[in-house]
Amino acid sequence: MSRPPQHSKVASSEHNGVSVIQSQLAVAANANSAKSNSDAALSSSPGGKAATAAAAAAPGKMKKSSADKDSDEYRQRRERNNLAVKKSRQRSKQKAMDTQQRVNQLKEENERLEAKIKLLSKELSVLKDLFLEHAHNLADNAQPPSGASPAADNP
């Protein structure tokens, strides 16, 4: 059993006039040119790295200078913000006052209800005592005298 020579594959690729090494170099060159084209596209696109770096260095994103703080637009924004903060704080204070007022109302109602519970408990106790006294009196009246029998009363 003999094997066919392996150099026949190399020979066939060289036979076409292009060696394997040359074809690999061509593929690498094409890949590099495609990469450089995509890098150029990224730098010109809004979402690319170059565009992001340029936006970070844009004057609008930098810290405001003292000249900007003196502008009318800045003053108007500050006034609007100050009014909004004042309004927010006022609403917060009003909400706290409303909550405190509700707490006070509930405390007063609770005290009234507790006083009513005490009053009703006393009334219940008095009525219970009256009922038990009346029931005891009925039981005493219903019993015959100790020496007499019920049949002896009837002639």
Asked whether the predicted pLDDT for residue 153 surpasses 70, the reply is no
Give, as one character, the DSSP assignment of residue 62.
Answer: S
The CA-atom distances, in angstroms, between 53 and each of 37, 39, 73 are 19, 14, 27
Mean pLDDT of 107-122: 98
**pLDDT recorded at residue 80:** 97
Asked whether the predicted pLDDT for residue 3 surpasses 60, the reply is no
Mean pLDDT of 1-25: 54
pLDDT (tens digit per residue) in 33-47: 655 555 554 455 455
pTM of the full structure: 0.42
